[in-house]
Amino acid sequence: MSYRLPRVATALAPASLPPSGLPGLDPAWSRIVDVVETGGLADGATHAWHLLDNGEQLAALGVEPVGTVLCVHGNPTWSYLWRDLVAQATAAAAAGQPAWRVIAVDQLDMGFSERTGVARPLARRVRDLDDLTRTLGLSGPVLTFGHDWGGVVSLGWAVDHPELLAGVLLLNTAIHQSETEPIPAPLRLALARGMLSTGTVLTTAFLDTTLALGHPALPTAVKNGYRAPYRSMARRGGIGGFVADIPVDAEHDSHAELDRIAESLRSLSVPTLMLWGPRDPIFSDRYLDDLIDRIPHADVHRFEGAGHLLAEDVDYAGAALTWLSGLDKLDQRSVEPVALVEPVALVEPVETQPLWHYLDELHDSDETALVDMAPSSGDGPRVVSWRLLSRRVREIAAGLHQIGVQKGDRVSLLVPPSADLTAVLYACIRLGAIVVVADAGLGLPGLTRAVRGARPDHIIGALPGLMAASALGWPGQKISTNRLPFASRKALGVSYALADLISLGRDEELPEPPLPTDVAAVLFTSGSTGPAKGVVYTHGQLAAVSRALHNQYGVGRGTGLVAGFAPFALLGPALGARSVTPDMDVTAPKTLTATAVAAAVSAIDATVVFLSPAALANVVRTQGALSPADRAALAGVKSFLSAGAPVSEPLLASAAALMPGASAHTPYGMTEGLLMTDITLDGIREAALDDVARGPGGVCVGRAAATTRVRISALDENGRAVGELSEAAGVTGEIVVSAPHVKDHYDRLWLTDLAATRQVTPGERWHRTGDVGHLDAAGRLWVEGRMPHVITTAAGVVTPVGAELAVSALAQVSRAAAVGVGAAGTQQVVLVVETIPAATRVSLAEPDLAEDVRMVAGHPVAAVLVVPHLPTDIRHNSKIDRTRLAGWAHGILTGARLTQP
């Protein structure tokens, strides 16, 4: 297709300066530059460009730029898009930080640049940018920054100027359109017959639609800023021209140039940053996947909730300048990617066996490997031998390979804990595919965000998961755990069933196994303090998790492991232990009963039991239903563990009474590091008697486990962890850990990963847990709450857990939560309690109860509120949702109606 401008888009107009008063735009940045066009029919013609450029401001400050950031807008925006970057870069230079010259162009026919009235296809626009940079005399180092179609133009310039290029930054854009995928629906509509001129030039429909994509909505003044250069039809021709230049097929004039740029990216080696808004209806995550495939070394951050106008939705400029500050040395002649944080653990890694080691070693053993207490057949517990598990894992792995699943492909597992899940997980691990695990406890919205964010190539699921994947448009080839009727397979887009893979993989050879440094899994966090994050583990790090469990608790060959917490059930085969998940709804831990645990213990003669606190509480609550045989089975348990949220001494003691022969442990950890510290029931009782060790209160979680090291970064008066990492006793601060089994990084969350990583010296990498606590003189760790829940009062910092435990110990209180209300630095402490007996409505506490609470809280308390139920996060059912509760309490104290939070 020959590219033509819309018929009404041929008006000529000179360049001009923007009007004064546009929000955020300093008139001093604007300049007009005359540029001679080279090549083509208009060779030698002069065109006037409008730019934003902070070069004069930097010169006035007397600073020399370390480099130039060349910013290119898309359609239908203009250089106004980059105003925050120009402002922040200039302010940073004035504050003595590295100075970056920022040049933001208005492409010809756009913004306040000249209207040329002729078609400017992609190759011409790349050449236009080259003409401009030569006129400006840019000598490097230069970093390009593009958005939308400006991303393509900027990348075209980048691949053509390796001698100047020092880095690449991108906001939402696309560099390749798959022949098997339609172009985005909004663009199809704009290109429809009769719509191009009408929607882009004759009216402001295309412009208005784009400006409606802000999250939150753009202020009217900002919208007017974007509209300023496009007030008349004569000035909107470039908008139509850009839409017309979308290469919808191989016959389009710009198709070959787009392909050239896209393929050239595969040899791009400079540092690269991609900032992405996943709510973009135009450039969805599939375009991000394509870019990552072409530039795999790129740093990537997805801003959950942001969309196409990412530059308006989030502080992209701050993120970009943070990234730029990590580029210590820019040499435009030979630039290598610069890692902001070296992926090296402080603790030296130890040799570990691959996760499938025991599947190979015991491939001809008829000993029990696992028991499925609630198989889909409903015929009672299903016993799986090592021989059968080993064979199934190999067959499924080979079958997956036969249908095109490759090493490094992402496979989302939407399968409930079962023998099927274990076999599929280990098949993917052995093949070198990356397993994506986001459990249903995240809720459908959270699960959708997780799956879409991880962008799996394949989905293996049971029927409920496949139905959700189909209804919500989750990406990836679909594979069912069970055979489905033809109509169901077609409706759900299912390509294969596990039985098909087993048949295809029988007698087939497996490819070479993955290396310890290869990525093995993306495990999603609970999302209890924000959107769930994908935690990336390598094969070596997952193997180190199993080794840490073995070293700490002796879990290994001959151990029977009952796991009421799915991750530990899945680690059973890696440890050589026979394992079982009790009959329960894993998305609701409170559904686990004492009889279900006893049945699971009996099924494998278990010696180790792992339960979440919510599950443990219900087990204790339902112990009256236990038979003498059940109690005898529980008496054979040698150790039990409960973790995932703070576990009170009375609850642990009650559980210990059910398992009198067991040592009771409560490890401390997180998705980013499953075993950080450990403490026994006796250790908790010993710590409780040590008033000095208790310090500011909290839950004692014991000493560092296995190969873990624990440090504290002290808080300042604003609740920020700014102190040097220390083992000093009695200092409250953020808990920071290091171990071979700590996560590798967060998936596509570069900024989050940077914030969660503490680098003391080169080669030392510590994970910031987001928890706050202190170490005592005996080296025990006390957890006092989460960093976002720290209360900053005029008298100093208050952490919530100590007050909550003290108040919960009152005879008339079941549970308590301490939250801060008011402005940071002057917050008031509010205690919200569940009472015994439970209240039927929300109210202020009776005077006697309020007085008792204030007496034991340890801090001045502004108010005591009584509720029937404290809100908990959707996954653990154990962690109080303090963020939600704080907002609710603020409303109550400022006159809102008394309703349940």
Range 891-896 average pLDDT: 82
pLDDT score of 351:
53
Encoded tokens for 561 = 């492991």
Give 672-706 as a DSSP string: TEEEEEE-BHHHHHHHHT-HHHHTT--EEEEEEPT
| Pairing assessment for the beta strands 828-835 and 796-798 based on DSSP bridges | unpaired
pLDDT score of 340:
34
Judge contact between 684 and 677, C-beta under 8 A.
no
pLDDT score of 342:
34
pLDDT score of 763:
67
pLDDT score of 649:
84
Please report the sign of the dihedral spanned by the C-alpha atoms of residue 526, residue 529, residue 531, residue 535: negative
**Highest averaged pLDDT of the listed ranges 242-251, 316-325, 740-749:** 316-325
Per-residue pLDDT band for 451 (boundaries 50, 70, 90) equals confident
Encoded tokens for 133 = 């940079």
Give pLDDT tens digits for 177-224. Answer: 776 677 776 766 766 766 788 889 999 999 999 999 999 999 999 999
- Can you count the helices (H) and strands (E) in the chain? 32, 38
How remote is the C-alpha of 69 from its chain's centroid? 28
Q: Is the peptide bond before 416 cis (omega within 30 degrees of 0)?
A: no
Per-residue pLDDT band for 877 (boundaries 50, 70, 90) equals very low
Residue 348 has pLDDT above 50, yes or no: no
Average pLDDT, the chain: 89
Residue 167 has pLDDT above 50, yes or no: yes
pLDDT score of 536:
94
How remote is the C-alpha of 133 from its chain's centroid? 37
Residue 567 has pLDDT above 70, yes or no: no
* pLDDT > 70 in the chain, percent: 91
**Highest averaged pLDDT of the listed ranges 278-282, 335-339, 687-691:** 278-282
Per-residue pLDDT band for 341 (boundaries 50, 70, 90) equals very low
Judge contact between 65 and 101, C-beta under 8 A.
yes
Residue 724 has pLDDT above 90, yes or no: yes
Q: Which amino acid is located at 279 in the chain?
A: R
Judge contact between 748 and 302, C-beta under 8 A.
yes
Give 183-246 as a DSSP string: PPHHHHHHHSTTTHHIIIIISSHHHHHHHTT-SSPPPHHHHHHHHGGGSSGGG-HHHHHHHHT-
Query: CA angle, corner 895, sides to 894 and 897, nearest 5?
Result: 130
Question: Given phi > 0 = left and psi -120 to 50 = alpha, else beta, which region is 157?
Answer: alpha
Name all domains of the chain by residue range, CATH numbers in brackets: 27-325 (3.40.50.1820), 357-553 (3.40.50.12780), 668-787 (2.30.38.10), 790-893 (3.30.300.30)
pLDDT score of 454:
80
* pLDDT > 90 in the chain, percent: 69
Give pLDDT tens digits for 251-266. Answer: 888 989 999 999 999 9
Give 457-505 as a DSSP string: SEEEE-HHHHHHHHHTT--SEEEESS---HHHHHHHTEEEEHHHHHHHH
Range 471-499 average pLDDT: 92
HEC states along 593-619?
CHHHHHHHHHHHCCCEEEECHHHHHHH
pLDDT score of 873:
59
Give pLDDT tens digits for 506-523. Answer: 989 999 999 999 999 998
pLDDT score of 396:
97
Lowest mean pLDDT among 346-355, 489-498, 539-548, 616-625: 346-355
Lowest mean pLDDT among 448-452, 577-581, 827-831: 448-452
Give pLDDT tens digits for 52-98. Answer: 999 999 999 999 999 999 999 999 999 999 999 999 999 999 999 99
Judge contact between 312 and 24, C-beta under 8 A.
no
Per-residue pLDDT band for 328 (boundaries 50, 70, 90) equals low
Encoded tokens for 862 = 């502004």
CA distances from 806 to 697, 740, 786, 856, 869 (A): 9, 36, 18, 6, 19
Phi/psi of residue 562, nearest 5 degrees: -100, 120
A 10 A CB-CB count for 320 gives 26
Give pLDDT tens digits for 756-801. Answer: 988 776 667 899 999 999 999 999 999 999 999 999 999 999 999 9
Per-residue pLDDT band for 150 (boundaries 50, 70, 90) equals very high
Residue 821 has pLDDT above 90, yes or no: yes
Range 112-126 average pLDDT: 94
Reference 590, options 528, 645, 638, 635; nearest CA is 645
Judge contact between 511 and 401, C-beta under 8 A.
yes
Give pLDDT tens digits for 596-635. Answer: 999 999 999 999 999 888 888 899 999 999 999 999 999 9
Per-residue pLDDT band for 116 (boundaries 50, 70, 90) equals very high
Give pLDDT tens digits for 392-406. Answer: 999 999 999 999 999
Per-residue pLDDT band for 377 (boundaries 50, 70, 90) equals low
On the CB side of 463, CA atoms within 13 Å amount to 7
Dist CA 242 CA 127 (whole Å):
16
Phi/psi of residue 399, nearest 5 degrees: -65, -40
pLDDT score of 404:
95
More confident residue, 613 or 2: 613
Judge contact between 117 and 82, C-beta under 8 A.
no
Give pLDDT tens digits for 412-447. Answer: 998 888 889 999 999 999 999 999 987 666 667 777
Per-residue pLDDT band for 246 (boundaries 50, 70, 90) equals confident
pLDDT score of 26:
97
Per-residue pLDDT band for 336 (boundaries 50, 70, 90) equals very low
Give pLDDT tens digits for 644-679. Answer: 776 778 889 999 999 999 999 999 988 899 899 999
